[in-house]
Each structure stands twice: as structure tokens, then as C-alpha cells.
Structure 1
């Protein structure tokens, strides 16, 4: 993991204008009020007996925590926000705004700060399915957490 590179991406997102439409960006995805950077992506786990997946999950969580320590030096300790109830509410038909709806469908929890700019910055580890890659995600948004 390249913490300096990841911090530079987060700084860029904190200063960048949000896209007017939902879609791909040079570092991930974005839309009105948010940007999501895919900082790092693992390989997939189609041929895995579970061992490689477990090790990758531990590695990605450790990398999120290491990056979070650097952000905590800037902005103080993170709040850890579980997204499970947000996911349940979305499944029951509640309209959850982006980026929170997307995050809740793929990230169990995020480490969350409010930057001096007023934007929210979140770090999370995503995995859509047992066979698919892990991703270390950084989110910058003007949309308050649910």
C-alpha cells in the first residue's frame, strides 16, 4: 500500500468539484455531492478455498486502519459508522441518498471524519461477493451520513 499516494487522492477529492451526473471518474465513481475513489483492488477468489480471501480481508482492513491513522493525525479519531441498518432500510424501500445507498450495499462499516472543508471523508473495505475482489474505498461527500 502506498499511504502517501492514497492521501494525495483523498486530498484531491476534498478539493475537487463533484460531478453533475452519476458516472465513472479517473479514480472511481462520482455524482452530485460525492466522489468514491477505488484506492486499491485485490484479485478475485474464484479458485480459493477461503484461505486467500480471509488473508486479503485482514490485509485490506489493516490497510484501511493504517490510512485511517494518518487521517486521524489530521482530523482526530474517526467515528465508525455501521451501514447494516442503512442497508436494511434500503431493502425495505426507504430512499437512501448517494453515496450512502451504494456504500451500504457493499461495505459493512466506514471510518468517518468531517474534514475542515465541511465534507465528509469515509474509508471502507468493499467486497460485493465471496468470489469477487476486495476494494479499499475512500469517499468524499457533502451528503450527511444516514
Structure 2
């Protein structure tokens, strides 16, 4: 199984996990982590794009969601629901789809140099802000 197919299978498993009915529950997993700082980020962004192409074929193409506006809103004191508040601080952009009643976001967490770069997937019933 190639790496993209492996991550798609992990995303499919993530989508089947229970989320609290009617609540703001969410699950976030690290699909892959990078070892070398800059190269790892470039590789993980390429992997994110490959996954986004496959998911776009399933649920429709959508441009990546830039996180700068959400970060600015958060900095001004606006209440941003989870998981979106955390994701905007960890990622610069997300690929986002709504499938049935669940939102799926995939992004690369590489904003904090102190943290290891990683490819994230999140499922939630809470719509993006």
C-alpha cells in the first residue's frame, strides 16, 4: 500500500470514530511526522496535496483554507470553536471537506519551530468559522 493510500485509510477510520451527538467533539491525529525541519515540511506539504487530490475526487475540489484570518480573529479576542482555534495556530492552510454531517480537515502543522512538523487530519461536526 502506498503512503497516500495508507493515510486515506487512516482518515476513513478517523471518520468512523464516534463524535458526541450534537456536540462540538472532534478527533485530531498525526498521520505522519517529519524528521528534518525544512525538507520534512516540504515533503509533508506535497503529501497533503496528494491526499487532497484524492479526497477532492471523492467530495469535490475545494481551494485550501488560509488560516491567517482565523488567527487574526482569535488574536482580537473572538471566540473560535475547537478544533479550529488550535488548527489555525498550528497550520497556515487546511484542505477542508464536509462529508455527510462531519467536517474533515487535513493540514501540515509547521508554524512552531519548537514542535516537530506533522501532517494532521481532524474530524468534527463543528463547521469552520
- Partner in structure 2 of residue 27 of structure 1: none
| Bigger share in helix | 2
Q: Distance in 1 between matches of 2:116 and 2:97?
A: 26
Any stretches of 5+ residues in structure 1 without a counterpart?
Answer: 21-30, 44-51
- Partner in structure 2 of residue 39 of structure 1: 31
| TM-score, normalisation: structure 1 | 0.78
- Partner in structure 1 of residue 14 of structure 2: 13
Any stretches of 5+ residues in structure 2 without a counterpart?
Answer: none
User: Is contact 1:79–1:113 with CA below 8 Å preserved after alignment?
Assistant: no
How far apart are 1:9 and its partner, in Å? 1.5
Q: Which has the higher contact order (CA 8 A, sep 6+)?
A: 2
CA RMSD of aligned residues (A): 2.0
Q: Distance in 2 between matches of 1:139 and 1:101?
A: 12
